[in-house]
Structure 1
Amino acid sequence: MTKYIEDERTELKRELIDEVKSEIIAFLNSDGGTIYVGVDDDGSTVGIKDDASKDKVDLKLGNWIQEAFFPKPSGLIQYYFNSDDVLAINISKGINKPYYLREKEPKPSGVYIRVGRSKRKANDDEILRMIMESHSYSYEDDISEEQDLTFKSFERTLEENDINLTPRLMNTMGLKAKSGKYTNLAYLLSDQSEIVVKVAEYDSEMNFKIKKSFKGSLVNVLKNVEEQVERLNDLRVVIDGSSFKRIETKSYPGASIREMVLNAICHANYFIRSNIKIEFFPDKAKITSPGGIFNASMDDIMNGVQTYRNPRLVHVFDKLGMIENFGTGIPRTMESYKNYGVKPEFKATENFFFVTLPNVNYLKNDSITDPITDPITDPITDPISDLGLEIMKALKLNPGINTIKLSEIIQTNLPSVSRDMIKNELKRNLTVYVEHRGSNRNGGYYLKSKDDK
């Protein structure tokens, strides 16, 4: 006998009561799912045993499909009795949203959506978005409510790329409709745009370290946000104890953080009255953008499938050279993390898309407590100058040499370095790692071992 478990795509009901109608509506308006009737909340099977009861349930559900829902969900609802005598109702994702209870009409009292493991009534904005998406509504192409627009920031960026914002270009880019009025795309690129991207950094106690908001032309916003994000992408420098080479690691490796910022701005649903948020925590960065996945599944986008909610905006960024290899952002981000033992996380709801990028340097913060415990293999995390590195490299290869011999070796690579500079570096900056053994006349310098510290 099957053990039934309720989750985001599964609902359990003991009986086929009227409440099941709203559950069906919720699955139609979300990503589909299955309702099992004849199962208790704890997952134990009650079943619908006798044929008369099965016939009654079968007729009732058939009538609902024909009369209770609108639009009629033809072909989207399949049902049968399984081997446990449980009625399984399989509901596919609807294609003509919003679906609603016919007796209630398309308003919050009759429209339901699935959120996590439960349903709730959709609000007016969510109903309107469903109507627009079902009719292939394009926010970019719609006429802007604001028509008194200027484009100083956008024009400066165009001029940097030897492009003039002519009336013809406005039309071909989609900034103006056939009526001559500005579109929402024009609004997004205008100086008057109220779209906000918020960037914040928190300490370990969740206090703000940095809190900034960027608004105006999205072209300018993207530039400013990328600059701010890059400043917050800390660089960790470790010196390899065996080669004395610097190993530099960004907290968010490769192009990961830039790709996800660009993804958020390009794919946001600007019809939703919400901000794009980029938040830096000690152990991660989290990017939240309005709008779920557009015309694709999570598996699709993880495999690099390209879908564009705002294709004209993407075209503008591409024309300005602000996009590289667009459409590969998530696969490239995953690739950036392949050598770090941690992975980015992606989550989508009906209205928002969330990206969490692990801070790869945070994972190492507590792993190195001793700056150098062995002169051959241990990493050095203290800041050391280029001269200091050359000295330590020379002493590793030539232990016990004096400053005369040391200066001869160092000057091969750094001819401008004097013996006094080497002495000063030894006394002031390298005492943790280097020691002098023997007399002033016959002694020499050695790298310290762990036992010497």
Structure 2
Amino acid sequence: MTESALIEGPHLEFKRKWVDGAKRSAVAFANTDGGTIYIGVEDNGDVTGVDNIDETMRRATQAISDGIRPDVMNFVSAENENIHNVPVVAVHIQRGAHRPYYLADKGIRPAGVYIRSGAASIPASESAIIDMIKQTAGDSFEDAVSLNQELTFTAAQTAFADAGLPFTPQSQRTLGLTNADDVYTNLAWLLSDQCTASIKAAVFADEVKEVFLNRQEFTGSLLTQFGQVSEFISRHNAVHSYTDATMRRVDNYEYSPLVLREAMLNLIVHRDYGLSGPALISIFSNHMEFMNLGGLLGNFTRADMMNGISSQRNPKLANVFYRLKLVEAYGTGIRRIMGDYQDEAVQPTFDISDHAFRLILPKHQRENVGLAQTSSTQELPQGIASTQTADLPTRQQQILDYAKEHGSITRKQAQSVTGASQSTAIKTINDLVSKKLLTRTGSGPHTSYRPCRQ
């Protein structure tokens, strides 16, 4: 360095000795275009020198290694230089590849993230931090570093425990909730109790959405939202019952519970969480709408989707739901929905744009043919055994419907269908057994429950 260069600027910072505040300059250089911190030089450029070169280099590199996250040491070097024959320490910091870098004790927020502006290191704005995260993570929202690092996982821990899966730091790393620097990713944020990516559900009295009959917004862990929104929808899915020629009770839902479940899973798993705004569920007198943020990925086409080809926008989120047995298989949801409507005059509709995906499910118009026809609020004719399932609590009805459609249900399947904990699923099944709506078969891990013949 020549005498004329002894002026602080965008790439130069002077310190008489190493102080803890110098880490801010190191962060700023790593987040901007790189630079050098000269130790042994006053702010005005006067060279005072360093008495112990080795100790100063050790203190500087140790402070940067311990105090800055993610690990920036691959972009840092320290060496001895002479200015006017006076020994100083030069700490060179290159622009890092894993921005934003931040002070470990401050976190990913303006108080911890600095950038270089002229000769000063200043706090980065939240928008600047988000831009750095996007540039580093590319198009993968779930892999990007979460702005909120103060996360809790009460709902996720319960769901993993109920599924018999570990929720340890190692498993979180394997699933992608933390990265190589043990920093929470956006996937962790989506599963955390602090998640603010919301779903809004509403029931309308008219087609123009002017009169609300009911509405609610759901936040928190996506695992919690899945259970709560599913329950909200179920309350608005009427069942019409009749007794057939064999004197058996037959229940017809306006919407198949399993189809609603698939629609909910698609809404959560395939959403573009990089776009602001809630997902929307609208319930009308003759149809339901599921409006999601994010169109089809890349060159993925409507024909691909209808043929059951799966393209994952959030593969790690989908993997979590798959491991928790909330998703049974990839690429089967659309085919299940269409299969449910194969005999219907009005078919589901898919409205797709660049940034939105809307599924419209028409209400089933199935005719009930039998000895006696009853509504969900009517009593059975005298002499017929009362197996009125329309008045069952939502979880009991979901479990019974699954058992009827598949012939049986296990405890784990009951958890998956209802989104309930293991203890709640067991209690719900036992209630159905006591009502003689389900009967137990097998034992131990082979236990299942079959619908009783009525």
Structure 1-normalised TM-score? 0.51
* Contact 2:247-2:371 at 8 Å conserved across structures: no
Matched, 1:255 2:258: yes
Matched position secondary structure for 2:200: strand
- CA deviation map 1:421-441 (0-9, x unaligned): xxxxxxxxxxxxxxxxxxxxx
Alignment match, 1:232: 236
* Contact 2:243-2:370 at 8 Å conserved across structures: no
Q: Report the count of equivalent residues.
A: 251
* Contact 1:190-1:216 at 8 Å conserved across structures: yes
Alignment match, 1:157: 159
Matched position secondary structure for 2:320: helix
* Contact 1:264-1:287 at 8 Å conserved across structures: yes
Query: Equivalent pairs: percent with the same residue?
Result: 30
Corresponding letter in the other structure for 2:281:
I
- CA deviation map 1:381-435 (0-9, x unaligned): 45242634489xxxxxxxxxxxxxxxxxxxxxxxxxxxxxxxxxxxxxxxxxxxx
- CA deviation map 1:229-284 (0-9, x unaligned): 222221111345x5554432111126211101100100000000011111110100
Change (3 A) 1:158 1:245: closer
Quote the offset at 1:204 in angstroms.
Answer: 4.1
Alpha-carbon distance between aligned partners in 2 of 1:324 and 1:377, rounded to the nearest angstrom: 34
Alpha-carbon distance between aligned partners in 2 of 1:332 and 1:184, rounded to the nearest angstrom: 30
Matched position secondary structure for 2:240: strand
* Contact 1:254-1:333 at 8 Å conserved across structures: no
Matched, 1:212 2:221: no
Matched position secondary structure for 1:141: coil
Larger radius of gyration: 1
Quote the offset at 1:148 in angstroms.
Answer: 1.3
The counterpart of 1:265, out of the listed 268, 271, 290, is 268
Matches within 5 A, 1:248-397: 248-253=251-256, 255-295=258-298, 296-361=300-365, 380-381=373-374, 383-385=378-380, 387-389=382-384
Q: What RMSD, in angstroms, separates the aligned Cα atoms of the two structures?
A: 3.0
Structure 1: gaps (5+ residues): 1-124, 369-375, 392-453
Corresponding letter in the other structure for 1:271:
G
* Contact 2:322-2:329 at 8 Å conserved across structures: no
Structure 2-normalised TM-score? 0.51
Matched position secondary structure for 1:380: strand
Alpha-carbon distance between aligned partners in 1 of 2:170 and 2:248, rounded to the nearest angstrom: 55
Corresponding letter in the other structure for 1:178:
A
Corresponding letter in the other structure for 2:277:
S
The counterpart of 2:205, out of the listed 168, 179, 203, is 203
Change (3 A) 1:230 1:165: same
* Contact 1:255-1:336 at 8 Å conserved across structures: no
- CA deviation map 1:349-398 (0-9, x unaligned): 0110000000114x87xxx9xxxxxxx9786345242634489xxxxxxx
Corresponding letter in the other structure for 1:385:
L
Matched position secondary structure for 1:232: coil
Alpha-carbon distance between aligned partners in 2 of 1:338 and 1:379, rounded to the nearest angstrom: 26
* Contact 1:238-1:380 at 8 Å conserved across structures: yes
Quote the offset at 1:156 in angstroms.
Answer: 1.5
Matched position secondary structure for 2:382: helix
